[in-house]
Structure 1
Amino acid sequence: MLELLEQPPPCRIRTRQRIVCEAVAYTVNGRSIPLVQPYNAPSPRLVLRWMRELARNIADQQDRPYAAPVWHWLRDEDEQQRAQSLLAAGQPYTFTVPTDDTTYVVSASPVRAALAASLNTRHPADGPR
């Protein structure tokens, strides 16, 4: 026979973090231009992969003086580890590339899974729903 418990065991809800990644170009005349669709990353490691790919694309389109800081960031393992640690701790991370006429801002902000799902933004690599 089944025994009834006087109090149910505590329910442990595990919330998964999602990290919303965005890239925007801000022009000198105040316009903001999204560079890509926002991406919901499931982990800090995938955020860094996404940021590195986007940084390479930005650097490839810049003159050498403006591309140099991007290439430096791409090779800076300590900075990448710092970014991963911040994101894992639930803190945002932003990488900025200023040029004469445009400032590129690549950012990642952790959000709870419920909020991330409501954003309805997915990366094609996430596969079908």
Structure 2
Amino acid sequence: MSAGLAPPTAFDVGCVAYTVSNRSLYELGGHRSKSAWLAMVWLVRRAGHIVDQLDPPAAAPVRAWMSDGCEHARALLRLGQQETYAYTICDGDVRYVLAVAPVVLVRHDADQEATCAAA
């Protein structure tokens, strides 16, 4: 971890959709969570809303992902390492991207402020 960075204290979660031919993004919701685990809960719930609208061939891999504890553990590990996690759902020409990104805050203390003021 770099000096001056605190561990993530929040996680931004979001969902967007786009068509391969158009590339215009459509926001389908977002949330700020206090923990990586709660962020993953939001992602799985949002995937559940999407999967209900998919054709069966596109829905099967999403349902598998929703119940894949190993994949969720891998996602939590990535988030703990301050890396973004994303899952893409493909349904024909439409793509849904569910993502979680850690919010890393810069620590602000008197020593750092004095160093910046002296520069």
Bin the TM-score by the shorter chain: 0.7 to 0.9
Instruction: Say whether 1:112 aligns with 2:104.
Output: yes
The alignment's TM-score, normalised by the length of structure 1, stands at: 0.72
Pairing partner for 1:44 from 29, 36, 50:
36
Matched pairs, number? 101
Provide the secondary structure at the position in 1 that maps to 2:71: helix
Q: Distance in 2 between matches of 1:97 and 1:15?
A: 30
Contact 2:8 2:102 in 1 (8 A): no
In structure 2, stretches of 5+ residues that fail to align are 107-119
Provide the secondary structure at the position in 1 that maps to 2:48: helix
Pairing partner for 1:91 from 83, 97, 100:
83
Counterpart for residue 53 of structure 2: 61
The alignment's TM-score, normalised by the length of structure 2, stands at: 0.78
Aligned alpha-carbon RMSD (Å): 1.7
Distance 1:14 1:100, change over 3 A: closer
Q: Which runs of 4+ in 1 moved over 3 A?
A: 13-16
Q: Distance in 2 between matches of 1:53 and 1:108?
A: 13
Structure with greater contact order relative to length (CA < 8 Å, sep ≥ 6): 2
Q: Distance in 2 between matches of 1:99 and 1:70?
A: 10
Between the aligned residues of both structures, percent identity stands at 33
Contact 1:20 1:110 in 2 (8 A): yes
Given residue 90 of structure 2, which amino acid in structure 1 is its aligned partner?
Answer: P
Instruction: Tell me which structure has the larger Cα radius of gyration.
Output: 1
